[in-house]
Amino acid sequence: MLSRIPFRFLGLALFAVCFGLLAFGLYLQHVKGIEPCPMCIMQRYAMAACGLIGLVAGLHNPGRNGQNAYGALLALAALAGAGVAARQSWLQWFPPAVSECGPGLEYMLDSFPLAAALPMIFRGAGDCSIVDWRLLGLSIANWSFVTFAVTLAALLGFLLQRKDKTH
């Protein structure tokens, strides 16, 4: 089914979905006042990477080898995002007994040189276990995981269906 949809359309659709989700995250941040934690920021980077890969792939419209290369890049970005989202979901479901909350992202970037702030961001310092918003019972981190998982499943489905057409 997916292999019948033009690759260019799939890439541009992925870009549109990622752009929409990132825009919604910015809406929640700037309009609703929900500040992202460092793990949220990392998920945004992974979502932006997935969207940019989709945009470039859609504009390029490569042949089979190029599709495989874009697929590998997309898989890496989506796996990274899914890993961070899964870890944050775990922290939300099973918050630590002693709060590991540290300074917020803005404070870290303002107070420390980038080389010192990056490790703190990757550690997830901040209140990443707090759930500020839910939709259908799922937190933002849960939805982020679902999005990355669906992206990976669709990529796998596309590649497998495309492979079956050649045999």
Summarised one tens digit per residue, pLDDT across range 151-166 is 999 988 887 876 655 5
pLDDT of residue 167: 47
According to DSSP H, which parts of 35-63 are helical?
A: 38-60
Give pTM, 2 decimals.
0.76
On whether the CB atoms of residues 145 and 80 are closer than 8 A, the answer is no
pLDDT band, residue 113 (cuts 50/70/90): confident
| Max CA distance (Å), the chain | 58
Per-residue pLDDT tens over the stretch 5-15:
788 898 999 99
Q: Looking at per-residue confidence, does 133 or 31 come out higher?
A: 31
For 120-130, what is the mean pLDDT? 61
Report how far Cα 157 is from the mean position of its chain's Cα atoms.
19
Q: Looking at per-residue confidence, does 101 or 59 come out higher?
A: 59
Is pLDDT of 94 > 90?
Answer: no
State the average pLDDT for the chain.
82
Rounded to 5 degrees, φ, ψ at 70 are -65, -35
pLDDT of residue 125: 45
pLDDT of residue 29: 84
List the domains of the chain with CATH numbers.
2-166 (1.20.1550.10)
